[in-house]
Amino acid sequence: MRILHLGTLYPPHIVGGAERSVELLAEAQAALGHQVGAACLNREAVAPVERNGVTVYRMEHGNSFWMEDADQHSRVERTVAKLKQPFNSFLAHQFGAVLDQFKPDLLHSHSMVEVSSLLWSEAARRNIAVAHTIRDYELLCTNSGMFKNGKPCAKRHVKCQVLTLDKLLRHRAIGAVAGVGRQILQTHVDEGYFSHVAPAYRRVIWNPAIVKGADPDYVKPRLDGPIRFGYLGRISAEKGVDTMLNALRRLEPGSWEAIIAGKAPSDMAKFEALAAGMPVNFAGFMDPKAFFEAIDILIVPSLWAEPLPRTILEASAMRVPSLGARSGGIPELIGDDNKDWLFDAGDDVDLADRMAALIARGRDDMAFGRFGDILAETQPQTVAAKYLDLYEGALAGHRAKAAALS
């Protein structure tokens, strides 16, 4: 099968977990013998290159400004850019040329945050089947997170409905869809998306995830001393870092330590003040394997509804249990009934109680119980096979639709 992936970015240009997930999927499909390409945006167009068996097409973005320069523009300028994005014929023309050159049997779209929905139409014009993975809320929300003013959005704002209307109208080109979690797929269905897709082709497929150096027989080295909690990711309020720090403040001194690894934000001083006088190490960037080997328990305190936190997948690969908020796809990974490992999002008292209970149990009594399930479902080969099965359904439906119109 000839498969073309489409997203805003593709490695080595990475801003989050989506790019890594698409890369792992594309390379696993190529390893199975399929012809695989990946199209993405770039500041300027460059010639196609081969990357680990995947042909990568980097197209000039054609938007009002490059996505990483958004902070240099006013709110009005950013809104105008979003209004213009659905009509980005410059990008659509480039993508049409990519489709004509690569000639995919199927287009698999991912993050469309900066990608015009016209590109779906380009595939439809060429009678190419389309599958889509929902990785965040960018089909519903202009900031992709459905999070505003320090809390999750209870409903969609009018601005978001207007600025994503093109995606609602054009997404009917999609013949099969996968959500990376139950919650995010259902949220989109509830908002009127993918009603045209047969239920059999609306599926939940977790992201692939690996940590270099953690093979199936990996045994995590045992730690000594106080229980060590860890956080890995963007240091921000919506990720719940302040909730974690406030919870740590409630714990008995001397029984614990913490490592917070991630890029320092411009308001880092606020978080450092919350941690003042506590054994908290703001470690900056850390190699994932080194980070997980240095902690006993991963804390995932997100306030916003993360669809499928990659850190939990990576922690499981490293045999590190995760204590997470009841938010988004976190309970799906940890286990809805795994109450010892879940707390109410934003509730530092509840989090502190869970942490104190784990400290009291000690390292020898931290049975998490989900490692095997998560590892089995997130191996790249497993995820690739699930998508290939979904593609077959999309192609069959596409052929049936074409036959009905002929």
pLDDT, one tens digit per residue, over 266-277 is 889 999 999 999
Contacts of residue 206, defined as CB under 8 A and 6 or more positions apart, other chains included, come to: 180, 181, 308, 313, 374, 377, 378, 383
Both 136 and 124 in one domain: the answer is yes
Give percent above pLDDT 90 in the chain: 77
Q: How many CB atoms lie within 10 A of CB 234?
A: 13
Give percent above pLDDT 70 in the chain: 98
For the chain, the domain total comes to 2
Region 309-337: mean pLDDT is 91
* Rounded Cα–Cα distance for residues 397 and 37 (Å): 23
Band of pLDDT at residue 263, cut at 50, 70 and 90: confident
Assess whether pLDDT exceeds 70 at residue 405: no
CA distances from 342 to 97, 288, 321, 337 (A): 49, 23, 11, 9
Both 92 and 197 in one domain: the answer is yes
Instruction: Specify the higher pLDDT residue, 404 or 171.
Output: 171
Is 135 part of a structural domain of the chain? yes
* Rounded Cα–Cα distance for residues 390 and 205 (Å): 10
Region 252-275: mean pLDDT is 92
Is 342 part of a structural domain of the chain? yes
Is 336 part of a structural domain of the chain? yes
**What does the pLDDT read at residue 16?**
78
* Rounded Cα–Cα distance for residues 394 and 129 (Å): 7
Both 342 and 393 in one domain: the answer is no
**What does the pLDDT read at residue 275?**
95
Model's pTM, two decimal places? 0.90
**pLDDT tens sequence across 152-163:** 888 999 999 999
Q: What domain range includes position 329?
A: 227-377
Both 232 and 305 in one domain: the answer is yes
CATH of the domain at 142: 3.40.50.2000
Is 220 part of a structural domain of the chain? no
Q: In 3D, which of 306, 244, 299, 235 has the Cα closest to residue 265?
A: 235
Assess whether pLDDT exceeds 80 at residue 369: no
Assess whether pLDDT exceeds 80 at residue 44: yes
CA distances from 241 to 11, 235, 300, 304 (A): 27, 6, 9, 12
Both 328 and 398 in one domain: the answer is no
Is 213 part of a structural domain of the chain? no
Assess whether pLDDT exceeds 80 at residue 323: yes
Both 242 and 149 in one domain: the answer is no
* Rounded Cα–Cα distance for residues 129 and 398 (Å): 6
Is 92 part of a structural domain of the chain? yes
Region 209-238: mean pLDDT is 88
Assess whether pLDDT exceeds 80 at residue 216: no
Is 219 part of a structural domain of the chain? no
Both 10 and 57 in one domain: the answer is yes
Pick from 43-57, 226-240, 391-405: least confident: 391-405
Assess whether pLDDT exceeds 90 at residue 225: yes
Both 142 and 161 in one domain: the answer is yes
Both 290 and 396 in one domain: the answer is no
Assess whether pLDDT exceeds 70 at residue 406: no
Both 72 and 200 in one domain: the answer is yes
Both 310 and 326 in one domain: the answer is yes
Assess whether pLDDT exceeds 90 at residue 71: no
Report long-range pairs for 31-35 (Cβ below 8 Å, ≥24 apart). Answer: 31/381, 32/381, 32/384, 32/388, 34/1, 34/2, 34/3, 34/388, 35/1, 35/2, 35/3
Is 281 part of a structural domain of the chain? yes
Burial of residue 140 (CB within 10 Å: 0-12, 13-18, 19+) is: buried
Task: Show the 3-state SS of the chain.
Answer: CEEEEECCCCCCCCCCHHHHHHHHHHHHHHHCCCEEEEEEEECCCEEEEEECCEEEEEEECCCCCCHHHHHHCCHHHHHHHHHHHHHCHHHHHHHHHHHHHHCCCEEEECCCCCCCCHHHHHHHHCCCEEEEEECCCCCCCCCCCCEECCEECCCCCHHHHHHCHHHHHHHHHCCEEEECCHHHHHHHHHCCCCCCCCHHHEEECCCCCCCCCCCCCCCCCCCCCCEEEEEECCCCCCCCHHHHHHHHHCCCCCCEEEEEECCCCCCHHHHHHHCCCCCEEEEECCCHHHHHHCCCEEEECCCCCCCCCHHHHHHHHCCCCEEEECCCCHHHHHCCCCHHHEECCCCHHHHHHHHHHHHHHCHHHCCCCCHHHHHHHHCHHHHHHHHHHHHHHHHHHHHHHHHHHC
Band of pLDDT at residue 368, cut at 50, 70 and 90: low
Both 163 and 305 in one domain: the answer is no
The pLDDT mean for the chain works out to 92
**What does the pLDDT read at residue 163?**
92
Assess whether pLDDT exceeds 70 at residue 370: no
